[in-house]
């Protein structure tokens, strides 16, 4: 109490009780023992119980304050990061201005990258700013009022319990001291006037500010002192992709948090109903507080604490979503987010976004469960939400080749990709039989869209560069193509006449421009013998085979349509699986490259079917040397696979 303070109703009642007790104190020698055992000890227990709850309320309030201050600290950190990014951007801008012509493109590229990073940091700052304001509003309008209400309820319960004890003491004195019955009745009436809510009203009147309570002002955007900027969210192309992924993650979490908040709110409301019932039951039993009522009060407080924590997260996510939508509209409309999962890449893999290797210290990456999109963990938020949906294994490979050769393809250009229901994408394969022993890839138009018809141009087949010269070879052996990759020529498109021939032996292509053909296969001679090699057409595929492997049957009398390459695949499979006749020696082609032989200097156990098992001293033919990935492509017995480059030594 301070000078000029108003006494609470409980204090007034207590003073009356003390005064009355002093009057009859001399006659209470015997009663004193009963008062100690039945009243004082009860008050001690009640004090211990309610003090525990008061401390718990205090801890709850401190936790709310800590969470609020943590959000304030997060805002300060975000602001500092934004200032640092702006400062770094200004430095790169100065470098661009001071750079010479030969170094300007590199400096400009670094400046543009830093600009995009600054935009992302700025957006994070703005989002954090709004979240902080929302948390602040929740703290002052929801959390603190709830704590105060709970403390008020606790105090009123405590007062009610004290009243019960005081009534008991009065009854004891009335029974023991008939002569003081009049004084006790007056004291009893005084206690009855001490209603539980009177202390609360007195506390409110005594502690309420004269000019009313004022909410602290909202936080606002503070531009960097070295970068003149506005409080508008950046919505350029790169930022929209980042914001689109941000809102997708927020919405995913928001659904679960809304459900959790609703569930916990219902639990709290249910416990409040139980609390009222328990209080009514306690009043009907003379105001005695039961253990069940204590358990209900404890559970109610715990439920309110859990609800406040979950509700804070919900408010933060809702604010993030609202902030992005106010700046960009329905940015998530027609978006198809990738279902990324964390992946550790044991074999070097190219990031489908930045096309850098995911290997070594950056082996941790992300993989889309639907379309197989691979990227660094740091690139996840910069991947456009253009997932085509669940794809089968073949379609994932075709899409992987498109991404590695041409970059990411927009969602509207992927409508023809094969989905899980069996629809197919039109992919052209220049050779359907070499896929058993070489790495085949789907050919794709330069524009980035997938071709829908098979290419029949002879020149395109004969002049196409090998996989080892154009890009690092895929370390896997592909099965023959499915029917979805085989296209028939139109009926009115006929193959020109030419001499018919028959393959005396099976031949497997060993270089650029060659073709693999099975034994006994009928072909058409396109170009006669030249230096021991003859150019033939097998179905839709044209290439070179040794002249000694071909027997001319006669000229073709009429045009015929292209045959399906299925028979070629079957004959190729038979020549590999079953025994085959060994053909005569093959004449070297003019300008043929000199073979490079290597041998293994260490033992190696293959981890996948795309790799060779090696023992020290094994010999191979080097097809493609290490391209920086640590792997080399070698050939042994007509089969090409991958081995570690540092396990090899040139013979």
Q: What is the pLDDT of residues 484-508, one digit of tens each?
A: 334 444 433 344 457 889 998 888 8
Q: What is the pLDDT of residues 185-194, one digit of tens each?
A: 888 888 888 8
* DSSP per-residue string spanning 9-49: HHHHHHHHHHHHHHHTGGG-HHHHHHHIIIIIHHHHHHHHH
> Within 13 A of 86's CA, how many CA atoms are on the CB side?
18
What pLDDT is recorded for position 63? 92
Cα–Cα dist 547/503, whole Å? 10
Of the candidates 525, 579, 580, 526, the one whose C-alpha atom is nearest the C-alpha of residue 551 is 525
Domains in the chain, CATH or no CATH each: 9-205+233-328 (no CATH), 336-414 (3.30.60.20), 488-577 (2.30.30.40), 596-650 (2.30.30.40)
* Number of other residues whose CB lies within 10 A of the CB of residue 28: 17
> 334: pLDDT confidence band, cut at 50, 70 and 90?
confident
Q: Are 631 and 643 in contact (CB under 8 A)?
A: yes
Say how far apart CA 162 and CA 145 lie, in whole Å: 25
Specify burial of residue 417 (Cβ count, 10 A radius: 0-12, 13-18, 19+).
buried
Both tokens assigned to 546: 């040794």
221, 231 Cβ separation under 8 angstroms:
yes
Using only C-alpha atoms, what is the Rg of the chain? 42
* Cα-based distances in Å from 382 to 243, 250, 375, 390: 9, 16, 10, 21
The pLDDT assigned to 140 comes to: 93
pLDDT at 454 > cutoff 80: no
pLDDT on residue 286? 58
Task: Say yes or no to pLDDT of 305 above 60.
Answer: yes
- Statement: residue 417 has pLDDT above 80: no
pLDDT band for position 293 (50/70/90)? confident
Torsion of CA 411, 412, 417, 420, to 10 degrees: 70
Phi-psi domain of 407 (left: phi exceeds 0; alpha: psi -120 through 50; beta: other) = left
HSE-CB at 410 with a 13 A cutoff on CA atoms is 5
Q: What's the mean pLDDT in 256-271?
A: 88
What phi and psi values does residue 527 have, to the nearest 5 degrees?
Answer: -140, 130
State residue 6's pLDDT score. 59
Dist. CA 224–CA 475, nearest whole Å: 50
* Residue-wise pLDDT tens digits, 46-93: 889 888 988 998 999 999 999 999 999 999 999 999 999 999 999 989
Model pTM greater than 0.95? no
Average pLDDT over residues 290-308: 85
Q: Report the greatest alpha carbon distance in the chain.
A: 143
What strands, in cross-sheet order, belong to the sheet with 340-344?
A: 340-344, 364-368, 374-376
CA distance 402 to 444: 7
Mean per-residue pLDDT for 387-397?
83
Quick one: pLDDT at residue 20? 83
- What is the helix (H) or strand (E) element at residue 234, kind and residue range? none
pLDDT at 588: 53
Kindly indicate the confidence band of residue 512, based on its pLDDT and cuts at 50, 70 and 90: confident
Secondary structure in 3-state letters for 337-355: CCCEEEEECCCCEECCCCC
Residue 339's nearest CA partner among 378, 379, 380, 376 is: 380
């Amino acid at each position: 109490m301070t000078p000029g303070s108003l006494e609470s109703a409980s204090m007034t009642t207590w003073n009356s009780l003390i005064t009355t007790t002093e009057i009859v104190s001399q006659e209470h020698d015997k009663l004193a023992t009963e008062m100690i055992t039945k009243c004082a000890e009860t008050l001690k227990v009640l004090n211990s119980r309610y003090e525990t709850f008061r401390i718990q309320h205090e801890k709850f309030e401190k936790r709310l304050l800590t969470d609020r201050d943590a959000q304030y600290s997060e805002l300060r950190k975000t602001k500092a990061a934004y200032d640092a990014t702006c400062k770094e951007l200004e430095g790169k801008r100065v470098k661009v201005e001071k750079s010479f012509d030969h170094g300007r493109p590199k400096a400009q590229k670094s400046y543009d990258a830093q600009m995009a990073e600054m935009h992302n940091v700025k957006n994070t700052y703005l989002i954090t700013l709004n979240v902080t304001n929302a948390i602040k509003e929740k703290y002052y309008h929801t959390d603190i009022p709830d704590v105060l209400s709970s403390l008020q309820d606790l105090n009123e319960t405590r007062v009610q319990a004290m009243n019960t004890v005081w009534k008991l003491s009065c009854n004891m004195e009335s029974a023991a001291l008939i002569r003081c019955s009049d004084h006790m009745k007056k004291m009893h009436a005084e206690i009855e006037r001490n209603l539980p809510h009177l202390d609360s009203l007195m506390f409110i009147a005594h502690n309420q500010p004269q000019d009313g309570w004022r909410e602290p002002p909202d936080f606002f955007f503070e531009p960097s002192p070295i970068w003149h900027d506005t409080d508008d969210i950046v919505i350029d192309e790169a930022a929209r992709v980042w914001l689109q992924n941000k809102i997708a993650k927020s919405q995913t979490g928001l659904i679960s948090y809304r459900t959790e908040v609703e569930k916990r709110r219902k639990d709290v409301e249910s416990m409040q109903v139980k609390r009222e019932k328990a209080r009514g039951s306690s009043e009907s039993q003379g105001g005695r507080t039961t253990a069940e009522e204590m358990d209900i009060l404890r559970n109610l407080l715990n439920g309110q604490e859990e609800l406040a924590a979950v509700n804070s997260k919900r408010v933060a996510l809702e604010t993030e979503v609202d902030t992005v939508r106010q700046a960009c509209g329905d940015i998530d409309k027609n978006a198809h987010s990738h279902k990324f999962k964390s992946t550790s890449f044991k074999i070097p893999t190219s990031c489908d976004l930045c096309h850098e290797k995911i290997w070594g210290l950056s082996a941790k990456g992300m993989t889309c469960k639907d379309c197989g999109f691979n990227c660094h963990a740091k690139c996840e938020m910069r991947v456009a939400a253009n997932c085509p949906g669940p794809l089968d294994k073949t379609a994932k490979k075709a899409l992987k080749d498109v991404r590695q050769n041409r970059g990411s393809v927009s969602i509207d250009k992927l409508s023809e990709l094969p989905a899980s229901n069996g629809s197919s994408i039109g992919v052209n394969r220049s050779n359907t039989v070499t896929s058993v022993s070489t790495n085949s890839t789907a050919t794709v138009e330069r524009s980035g869209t997938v071709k829908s018809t098979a290419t029949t141009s002879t020149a395109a087949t004969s002049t196409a560069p090998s996989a080892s010269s154009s890009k690092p070879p895929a370390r896997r052996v592909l099965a023959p193509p499915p029917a979805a990759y085989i296209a028939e020529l139109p009926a009115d498109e006929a193959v020109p006449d030419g001499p018919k021939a028959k393959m005396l032996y099976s031949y497997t292509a060993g270089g650029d421009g060659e073709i693999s053909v099975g034994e006994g296969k009928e072909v058409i001679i396109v170009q006669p013998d030249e230096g021991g090699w003859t150019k033939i057409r097998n179905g839709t595929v044209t290439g070179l085979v040794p002249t000694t492997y071909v027997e001319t049957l006669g000229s073709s009398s009429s045009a015929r349509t292209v045959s399906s390459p299925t028979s070629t695949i079957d004959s190729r499979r038979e020549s590999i699986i079953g025994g085959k006749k060994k053909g005569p020696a093959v004449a070297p082609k003019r300008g043929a490259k000199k073979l490079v032989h290597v041998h293994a200097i260490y033992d190696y156990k293959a981890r996948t079917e795309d790799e060779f098992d090696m023992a020290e001293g094994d010999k191979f033919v080097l097809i493609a040397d290490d391209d920086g990935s640590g792997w080399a492509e070698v050939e042994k017995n007509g089969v090409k696979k991958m081995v570690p480059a540092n396990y090899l030594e040139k013979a």
